[in-house]
């Protein structure tokens, strides 16, 4: 039984079995129906049933329905006992706007696998901060139809396994060698930056921090990292992993900025990890204990004993 008074307890959702039902949420922007249907086909080909709430097709300008509608759908999905996991349809913008409308007591009583990234970073962060729930940074429905086989395989494995595992970053670059351990947290940099100063940003102390981004100029990445550093967000972190920085300019320049900003941090730093908005988006668990070996380009995970 989960007890909120025990701050060090991590809430781990149950793994999926073939035949289990995945619910789809749309907490952010509207989505392309053709891409969405292709993604649903992929989930069903993995052996899962898919529940699609009618309301996720709502549109309210650049949002997939009003804030109340989007929050209500997500709350209802967590309430349904027959739904074992929730996969988001798309990111974009809007997850931040529903954080104060989520029923965290309901989530505590009905923990489920929750998958998303990009703008959904706001939800991944809030689920850990408020519920200590392990969630998954990984591909969303509209992307699964065009996702690489490695991305799909990694998603299926993460959904259905509770064995310790490791991910070797073949194309990774060690910016600072060393080994560090801690709970993996983080996500999209701009979203994390906008969570700074709110009650929904986790404390990254003693954690391995993962960040990724898309479509932000190098100077903006510098500004966001500097902002968070000045706010003390990075104090005490045990390691840093850089995912994809797609359409963000020179990767070499980004790595140079990170190296400079974290120069006085005695932590391992690994760049080029295949997660985020790149061609591959390997699903990784936030809230789970991880060990980063930057020199060995290895990120290892350890599930808690049951």
Whole-angstrom distance, CA of residue 15 vs CA of residue 234: 31
User: Any catalytic annotation for residue 118?
Assistant: yes
Selecting among 135, 169, 213, 277, the annotated active-site residue is: 277
Q: Where are the alpha helices (DSSP H) in the chain?
A: 33-45, 67-79, 104-109, 121-131, 141-144, 149-160, 189-195, 218-230, 251-261
Selecting among 143, 212, 213, 216, the annotated active-site residue is: 212
- The answer to whether 246 and 272 are in contact (CB under 8 A) is no
User: Any catalytic annotation for residue 212?
Assistant: yes
Read out DSSP for 44-75?
A: HHTT-EEE--GGGG--BTTBSS-HHHHHHHHH
Whole-angstrom distance, CA of residue 287 vs CA of residue 136: 9
- The answer to whether 273 and 172 are in contact (CB under 8 A) is yes
SS3 273: coil
Selecting among 72, 95, 118, 207, the annotated active-site residue is: 118
Q: Show the tokens assigned to 236.
A: 């005490």
> Catalytic amino acids?
118, 212, 277
């Amino acid at each position: 039984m989960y007890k909120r008074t025990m701050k060090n307890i991590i809430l781990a959702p149950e793994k999926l079995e073939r035949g289990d039902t995945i619910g789809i949420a749309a907490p952010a922007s509207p989505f392309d129906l053709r891409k969405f249907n292709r993604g649903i086909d992929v989930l069903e080909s993995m052996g899962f049933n898919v529940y699609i709430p009618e309301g996720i097709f709502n549109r309210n300008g650049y949002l997939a329905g009003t804030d109340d509608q989007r929050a209500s759908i997500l709350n209802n999905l967590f309430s349904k006992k027959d739904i074992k996991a929730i996969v988001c349809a798309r990111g974009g913008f809007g997850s931040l706007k529903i954080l104060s409308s989520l029923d965290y007591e309901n989530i505590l009583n009905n923990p489920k696998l929750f998958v998303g990234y990009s703008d959904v970073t706001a939800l991944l962060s809030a689920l850990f901060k408020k519920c200590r729930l392990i969630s998954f940074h990984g591909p969303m429905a509209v992307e699964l139809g065009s996702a690489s086989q490695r991305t799909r395989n990694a998603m299926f494995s993460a959904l259905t396994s509770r064995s310790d595992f490791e991910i070797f970053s073949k194309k990774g670059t060690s910016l600072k060698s060393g080994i560090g351990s801690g709970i993996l947290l983080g996500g999209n940099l701009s979203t994390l930056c906008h969570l700074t100063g709110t009650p929904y940003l986790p404390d990254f102390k003693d954690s391995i921090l993962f960040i990724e981004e898309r479509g932000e100029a190098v100077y903006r990445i510098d500004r966001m990292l500097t902002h968070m550093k000045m706010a003390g967000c990075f104090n005490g972190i045990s390691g840093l992993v850089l995912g994809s920085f797609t359409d963000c300019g020179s990767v070499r320049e980004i790595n140079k900025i990170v190296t400079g900003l974290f120069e006085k941090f005695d932590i391992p730093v690994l760049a080029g990890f295949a997660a985020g908005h790149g061609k591959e988006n390997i699903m990784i668990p936030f809230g789970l204990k991880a060990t980063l070996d930057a020199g060995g380009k290895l990120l290892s995970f350890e599930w808690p004993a049951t």
